[in-house]
Amino acid sequence: MDASPNMQYEPRSAAQISGIVVLNIIWWMVMIAAIGIGATHLNNCPVQFFIPIYLIVMGASSILSLSLTYTKSTWKEGVVNILCSVCMTLLHLFGFCWFIAGNVWVYSVFPPNYSPEGPRYCHKTTYLFAFVFTTMMWASIALMICCIGCFALLTCCTTVSARHRLIPSRHSFYGGIGDSHEPSAGDV
């Protein structure tokens, strides 16, 4: 359970730790709310009866994934760490597939009828929670892709602008200190 003495970890700042804790608390609250709303209104969405089930399963798998993440960070090596990694990978794959299925279920009935007498009835809170949750997940994915793209573009631009320092000319050798274009003694 103890970390290997050869491994070095950089300490995190108080702001980083606080941000991670706040995001974790918010995510836990949203997932518990998803389970609660889905379970409370399990039979109140006849237009698409999978919407409450989508909320319950998404919430439960996310909470299980977070719990495995905490367990994995506690056991940094050994069988428990490997088992947690395998389970987390399978849960993330399942969560992705379940999210895609939830998109089909939620967006295919937009807009439902919120009146119980209507033919396309779905409980308003249940449907709107599922709709907003799914839309916010897509917005988060888009933001993440934009950030990764900006980082990749910045890295490429920095590398291209620094190439004259990184790649020597054919007339120089590593460690040479002159600007002469004559072959040095070390060049072949």
| Alpha-carbon distance values, 180 to 58, 77, 173, 177, 187 (Å) | 66, 54, 11, 9, 13
- Comparing C-alpha atoms, which of 4, 1, 21, 25 is closest to residue 12? 21
Average pLDDT over residues 122-146: 94
Per residue in 28-51, pLDDT (tens digit) is 999 999 999 999 999 888 999 999
Predicted local confidence at residue 53, as pLDDT? 95
- State residue 162's pLDDT score: 74
Residue 171 domain-assigned? no
Domain assignment present for 77:
yes
Position 119 in a domain: yes
The pLDDT of residue 181 is 54
Domain extent, residue 56, equals 15-166
Give the pLDDT confidence of 16-32 residue by residue, as tens digits: 889 888 998 999 999 99
How many domains is the chain partitioned into structurally? Answer: 1
Domain assignment of residue 149, yes or no: yes
188 or 137, higher pLDDT: 137
99 lies in some domain: yes
What pTM does this model have? 0.73
Q: Does the structure show a pLDDT above 60 at 79?
A: yes
- Percent of all residues in the chain with a pLDDT value above 70, rounded to a whole number: 81
Residue 44 lies in a domain: yes
Q: Residue 72, Cβ neighbours under 10 Å: how many? A: 17
Q: Sorting pLDDT into bands at 50, 70 and 90, what band is 164?
A: low
Alpha-helical segments (H) within the chain: 14-40, 50-74, 79-107, 124-161, 163-166
Q: Which pLDDT band holds residue 169 (cuts at 50, 70, 90)? A: low
Question: Is 177 a domain residue?
Answer: no
Residue 4, in any domain of the structure: no
